[in-house]
Chain A
Amino acid sequence: MAIVVTVTSGKGGVGKTTSSAAIAAGLAQAGHRTVVIDFDVGLRNLDLVMGVERRVVFDFVSVISGEASLNQALIQDKRLERLSILAASQTKDKDALTEDGVGQVIEQLSDMGFEYIVCDSPAGIERGATMALYFADHAVIVTNPEVSSVRDSDRILGILQSKSKHAEEGGRVNEHLLITRYDPVRVDQGEMLSKEDVCDILAVKLIGVIPESKAVLKASNTGFPVILDAESDAGMAYSDAVARFLGEDRPLRFVTPKKQGLLSRILGGGD
Chain B
Amino acid sequence: MPIFGLFGRKNKSSAAAARERLQILISHERQNRLGPDFLPDLQREILDVVKKYVAVRDDQVSIRVDREGDASVLELNVTLPEN
Partners in one complex: yes
Q: Is the CB–CB distance between A267 and B23 below 8 Å?
A: no
B1 to chain A, nearest CB (A): 7
B16 to chain A, nearest CB (A): 7
A94 to chain B, nearest CB (A): 24
Complex Cα–Cα for A201 and B29 (A): 12
Q: Nearest residue in A to B16 (C-beta to C-beta)?
A: A190
* B55 at the binding interface (Cβ < 8 Å): no
Interface size bucket, A side? 20 to 34
Which residues in B have their C-beta under 8 angstroms from that of A192?
A: 15
Q: Is the CB–CB distance between A147 and B18 below 8 Å?
A: yes
Q: Is the CB–CB distance between B15 and A194 below 8 Å?
A: yes
Q: Is the CB–CB distance between B33 and A158 below 8 Å?
A: yes
Complex Cα–Cα for A189 and B6 (A): 11
Q: Is the CB–CB distance between B23 and A158 below 8 Å?
A: no
Complex Cα–Cα for A193 and B21 (A): 12
Q: Is the CB–CB distance between A193 and B19 below 8 Å?
A: yes
A contact face: mostly helix, strand, loop, or mixed: helix
* B22 at the binding interface (Cβ < 8 Å): yes
A-B pairs, top 6 by smallest CB distance, nearest first, are A190-B13, A268-B2, A158-B33, A197-B19, A190-B15, A154-B26
Q: Nearest residue in A to B13 (C-beta to C-beta)?
A: A190
B9 to chain A, nearest CB (A): 11
Q: State the A residues within 8 Å of B (CB).
A: 146-147, 150-151, 154-155, 158, 162, 187, 189-194, 197, 201, 265-268
- How many of B's residues come within 8 Å of A, CB to CB? 21
Q: Nearest residue in B to A147 (C-beta to C-beta)?
A: B18
Q: Is the CB–CB distance between B15 and A154 below 8 Å?
A: no
Q: Is the CB–CB distance between B21 and A189 below 8 Å?
A: no
A171 to chain B, nearest CB (A): 18
B71 to chain A, nearest CB (A): 19
Known pairs A147-B22, A201-B22, A266-B6; A189 contacts B13 (CB<8 A): yes
Which residues in A have their C-beta under 8 angstroms from that of B52?
A: none
Complex Cα–Cα for A189 and B1 (A): 11
Over the window 1-35 of chain B, the binary record of Cβ atoms lying under 8 Å from chain A Cβ atoms (1 yes, 0 no) is 11101100011011110110111011001100100
Known pairs A265-B6, A266-B2, A266-B6; A151 contacts B16 (CB<8 A): no
Which residues in A have their C-beta under 8 angstroms from that of B10?
A: 189-190
Complex Cα–Cα for A197 and B13 (A): 13
A79 to chain B, nearest CB (A): 39
Which residues in B have their C-beta under 8 angstroms from that of A265?
A: 2, 5-6
Q: Nearest residue in B to A197 (C-beta to C-beta)?
A: B19
Which residues in B have their C-beta under 8 angstroms from that of A151?
A: 22, 25-26, 29
Which residues in B have their C-beta under 8 angstroms from that of A189?
A: 5, 10, 13
Which residues in B have their C-beta under 8 angstroms from that of A191?
A: 13-15
A193 to chain B, nearest CB (A): 5
Q: Nearest residue in A to B1 (C-beta to C-beta)?
A: A268
B24 to chain A, nearest CB (A): 10
* Choice from A155, A162, A197 contacting B15 with Cβ under 8 Å: A197
Known pairs A189-B13, A190-B10; A155 contacts B18 (CB<8 A): no
